[in-house]
Amino acid sequence: MTILDVQGLEAAHGLLKAVRGVSLSIAAGEVVALVGANGAGKTTLLRTIAGAHKAAAGAISFDAQNITKLRAYQRVGLGIALVPEGRRLFAGMSVEENLKVAGAHGRRGRWNLETVLEAFPQLKPKLKAKAGELSGGQQQATAIGRALMTNPRLLLLDEVSLGLSPLAVDQVYASLRTLLDSGTTIILVEQDLTRALAVSSRVMCMLEGAIVLAGLSDTLGRAEITEAYFGLKRKALS
């Protein structure tokens, strides 16, 4: 069953068109890796789906409902959550406060403070610590946990491993395993192609605001993805 359907989506930053006529469909329970070089439009695409950036053209449907003109908080209420690049936590608030403020504005479901801490046990001793005092890995875990507190049906993860040490990345992905196995629909932006292919069922590659390659993660070759990544060979698939 299709949970997200995007048709002819365009988004811009002033005169710069960052997303160009993107069309895609995501089935419920899919984990889709979105890859591409810096400036390819990945973050803008996620933010536009989440309602944090206004669409210039096209349509976004979630669970067969047109949400193109809905505000971000309304999309959260329907079950869409974004973990933004850079995490954007409330630095002066504790980990617990960051989690609870999200839970107060989310849907009912399996995710609450207890289950989030089960998924991210590294946060248990840091509950009363201010988010701005955490390590990068702990901040990323808090950002993901905050999104889970809204009980999303579609989770948009932007640059999960950006700026983290290899050990912190391992810890975050180990904690994510519960989420990846839970059936939550996920679109994951990840620069580490090996990790992206390992956790996803499908991969899409963006170049200059457009999706130029799409296919099953276990059938697309690394060389083919790399060519699309750098624009050496364009191959558009639905």
Q: How far apart are CA 203 and CA 196, in angstroms?
A: 8
β-strand pairing of 16-27 with 31-35 = unpaired
Q: Dihedral of the CA atoms 159, 160, 166, 168 (nearest 10)?
A: 140
| For the chain, domain boundaries | 2-229
**pLDDT-wise least confident of 48-57, 59-68, 105-114, 195-204:** 105-114
Q: Which tokens go with 234?
A: 């364009």
> pTM of the entire structure?
0.90
Note the pLDDT of residue 237: 43
CATH superfamily of this structure's domain 2-229: P-loop containing nucleotide triphosphate hydrolases (3.40.50.300)
- The pLDDT tens digits of the residues spanning 97-148 come to 989 988 777 788 889 999 999 988 989 999 999 988 988 888 888 999 999 9
The candidate with the shortest Cα–Cα distance to 43, out of 6, 10, 85, 2, is 85
